[in-house]
Chain A
Amino acid sequence: MTPDFRIPELTTDRLRLRLPRMDDFDAYARYRASERSRHVGGPNSRADAFSMLSSIIGQWQLRGYGRWIVADKTSDAPLGVVGIYHPDDWPEAEIGWTVFEEAEGKGIAYEAALATRRYAYDTLGWSTIISLVAPENTRSAALARRMGCRQDGVFSHDTYGDMPIWRHPAPSEVSE
């Protein structure tokens, strides 16, 4: 008896957004152990990385929406984690994006985040969504601007500190 769990998948020109699997773990743990994760609570041990990858799946069970592994459409290799992050202590649902080192600088986060926003607006029927970006994370802030986001206050988290809120353009303002 093998447990079965299915989530909606998204595909874009180059990417497939799919359920995380155990064979994604090494790539995810490498990212979580690296300095690249310093804006999102890292660096983290492999044990913590396992808990985080597991929690990505758990949020799908609790909320019905969540984050995907962004995989190369051809090779299926994991390139990052993008989707809707919404833990209990967040001000509202956000589009979160992370790409692993080997996938940086290719517009992958942008492509996956746009697909996520379309999913939130067109499939889930939402009227607004935000992204939280750590103040010193200039790359991510640049991506938020590229997506048309505008700063809309600051969220103060007990552990993660102050995070500027970037609000995405409304569904009527994006025609992709």
Chain B
Amino acid sequence: MTPALTNTPILETERLILRAPRPEDYAFWEPFYLSRRARFIGGGSDRGTGVAWRAFCHVAGMWVLRGFGSFVVQTKTCDNPLAMAGPWHPADWPERELGWTVWSEDAEGTGIAREAAEAARRFAYEVLDWDTAVSYIHRDNTRSIRLAERLGCTHDAAAVAPGDDDLVFRHPAPEVIAP
């Protein structure tokens, strides 16, 4: 018997399913994390597999420690993960965060990160009852900054960031985005 994470929420959007991480996702995470595309989140082509492994274990384990975590994003027709999006709250994080990473280069430019981040934000506001949310983004990560802006975030220069090179983007409040 392999211990499995159960009773986790599943979010659906027009094209996507957001679900908790599974062991099979690691085969997709590792090449992403060890590529240049992960350089703003602790990965990169100069990192070893052990670093990628521990980072994935952290993502999966947070679901148990916090009761929530980052969702793996797939399409409705294929279980292969394309991205991750969701609430992120390690110890001593200045605030509760909404994070996203697009694992598959082919998925870039398709709008799935935005679709997933909006669903994750609704979940954080409506289910976790957050009254505000931020996204911490490296100042050189222009793609992610553009997405934050499309999501209605504004740069909050007064808020504390976890790293010296991170900018804080504050999401619109729940009452602003409510349908």
Contact = CB atoms under 8 A, between A and B. Distances in A.
B150 to A, nearest CB: 29
Interface string A45-70: 11101110111111111101000000
A47 B48 contact: no
Contacts of A13: none
Interface string B1-42: 111111111000000000011010010000000000000000
Interface stretch (B59-67, B136-144, B167-175): B59-67
- Chain B interface residue count: which class? 35 or more
B65 A57 contact: yes
B5 A55 contact: no
B7 A58 contact: no
A2 interface: yes
A3 interface: yes
Contact of A3 (B3, B7, B23): B7
- Chain A interface residue count: which class? 35 or more
Contacts of A62: 23, 26, 53, 56-57, 60
Interface stretch (A17-25, A75-83, A127-135, A136-144): A17-25
Interface stretch (A4-12, A111-119, A146-154): A4-12
B91 interface: yes
A61 B53 contact: no
A2 B7 contact: yes
Interface of A: 1-8, 19-22, 25, 29, 45-47, 49-51, 53-62, 64, 87-90, 157-159
7 smallest CB-CB distances across A and B, nearest first, come from A58-B57, A89-B50, A57-B61, A54-B61, A88-B53, A50-B91, A58-B61
Given A22-B65, A61-B61, A62-B60, 13 more contacts: A6-B3, A21-B65, A22-B66, A50-B92, A51-B54, A54-B90, A55-B58, A56-B57, A58-B57, A61-B57, A62-B53, A88-B52, A89-B50
Interface of B: 1-9, 20-21, 23, 26, 48-50, 52-68, 90-93, 162
